[in-house]
């Protein structure tokens, strides 16, 4: 049996320029915390190797303080740490992988083609480096018999890009026991192609608004029944929330819809709240964004709602909708208080939605 910890795409040294400097520093700290978490977890589980499938750094030549801190954390590993550079931290003349003093436990693959690194008498890891911002790494190597053969490369599983794209057919033909991949920031899930089990671990920390979903790394054992599990990280997550305003009539109803969407880790997360549909009232979006920025590390509202239509737009029509609208207008004029007016307005929206064959509005329990 061979136990490993597989991670990728930490992007240490990323600027996080979309955040205020104080908040950006918090996110950068969460990146290092995620790396430390992975190393500590590997030590606790007594794994044979930590595999980093590219883009450990966000740049090919990151700031020296980032490199020093990264290598300091990796030096605490009780096992070997193997790195295959990716398209962001590709190997170049000034790469810290070549110019900086690395911990003895850290080995960096430096060839553009696969070369082996033995893991005791049990397995061998085949890795390769991006030597530019793009790469194509062939998988045709003579695997070593009677050992677990593991592939460690940065690879695009989603598109035929210049980032070493690989397909299930490639893995099936390769014959590797496990392929530890990086590049795509969303955890791919575990897949099998022929003999080969392969996965992209995703990023342990979000890098931007398009980098959503759970963040973490993989831990598992490679044996006759290979098993892996996803370990959530302490890195920052980016959440995309969406609210359809069509059926909302008050800030109270907005609060009822929004509250269940707030994740438990909101204080260490960023969020984009997209508003869609047709607004029936005008919320104070500036105040809402301020509140969200007290809940989240950072939050932005994107208003994609359309101009609201008057609920009384059918009042002059000589049809059933016009008759219903005029009747409700009369009821509204005779309402005794705000609660009764809200109830009448919601009832009218139900009636018009039914007559138009539209989705029924949400109901505010506190009306």
**Residues 235-246: tens digit of each pLDDT:** 999 999 999 998
Helix and strand element counts for the chain (H, E) = 8, 15
Please answer whether residues 270 and 236 qualify as being in contact, where contact means their C-beta atoms are separated by less than 8 angstroms: yes
Given a cut of 90, whether residue 114 has pLDDT beyond it is: yes
State the pLDDT at residue 366: 45
Predicted TM-score (pTM) of this structure = 0.83
Average pLDDT across the chain, whole number: 94
- Give the relative orientation of helices 64-74 and 21-45 as an angle to the nearest 10 degrees: 20
Residue where the block lists tokens 């597989």: 6
Q: In terms of DSSP H, where are the helices of the chain? A: 21-45, 64-74, 96-99, 168-174, 251-258, 285-295, 320-333, 338-356
**Which of 22-31, 195-204, 301-310 is the least confident region?**
301-310
Taken in order of first residue, the domains within the chain and their CATH numbers are: 2-232 (3.60.21.10), 237-303 (no CATH), 311-367 (no CATH)
Cα-to-chain-centroid distance, residue 196: 25
Which helix (DSSP H) or strand (DSSP E) does residue 218 occupy? Answer: strand 216-222
Contact 53, 204 (CB under 8 A): no
Whole-number percent of the chain with pLDDT over 90: 84
pLDDT of residue 220: 96
What are the φ/ψ torsions at residue 124 (nearest 5 degrees)?
Answer: -145, 135
Q: Order across the sheet with 196-200: list the strands.
A: 115-119, 123-127, 148-155, 178-183, 196-200, 191-193
């Amino acid at each position: 049996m061979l136990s490993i910890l597989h991670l990728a795409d930490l992007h240490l040294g990323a600027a996080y320029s979309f955040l205020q400097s104080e908040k950006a520093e918090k996110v950068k700290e969460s990146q290092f915390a995620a790396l430390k978490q992975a190393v500590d977890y590997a030590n606790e589980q007594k794994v044979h190797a930590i595999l980093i499938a590219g883009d450990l750094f966000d740049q090919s030549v990151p700031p020296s303080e980032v490199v020093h801190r990264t290598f300091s954390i990796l030096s605490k590993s009780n096992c070997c740490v193997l790195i295959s550079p990716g398209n962001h931290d590709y190997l170049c003349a000034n790469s810290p992988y070549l110019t900086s003093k690395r911990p003895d436990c850290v080995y960096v693959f430096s060839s553009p083609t696969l070369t082996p690194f033995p893991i005791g008498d049990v397995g061998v890891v085949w890795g390769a480096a991006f030597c530019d911002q793009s790469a194509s790494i062939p998988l045709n190597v003579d695997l070593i018999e009677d050992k677990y053969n593991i592939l460690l490369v940065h690879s695009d599983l989603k598109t035929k890009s210049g980032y070493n794209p690989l397909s299930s057919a490639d893995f099936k033909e390769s014959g590797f026991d496990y392929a530890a991949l990086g590049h795509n920031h969303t955890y791919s899930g575990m897949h099998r192609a022929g003999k080969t089990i392969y996965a992209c671990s995703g990023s342990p920390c979000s890098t931007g608004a398009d980098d959503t979903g759970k963040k973490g790394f993989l831990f598992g054992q490679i044996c006759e029944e290979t098993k892996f599990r996803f370990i959530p990280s302490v890195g920052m997550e980016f959440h995309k929330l969406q609210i359809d305003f069509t059926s909302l009539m008050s800030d109270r109803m907005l609060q009822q819809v929004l509250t269940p969407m707030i994740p438990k880790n909101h204080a260490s997360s960023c969020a984009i709240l997209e508003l869609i549909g047709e607004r029936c009232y005008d919320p104070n979006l500036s105040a809402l964004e301020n509140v969200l920025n007290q809940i989240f590390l950072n939050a932005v509202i994107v208003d994609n709602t359309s101009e609201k239509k008057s609920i009384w737009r059918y009042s002059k029509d000589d049809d059933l909708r016009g008759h219903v609208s005029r009747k409700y207008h009369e009821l509204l004029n005779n309402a005794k208080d705000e609660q009764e007016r809200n109830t009448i307005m919601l009832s009218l929206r139900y009636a018009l939605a039914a007559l138009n064959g539209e989705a029924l509005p949400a109901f505010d329990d506190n009306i």
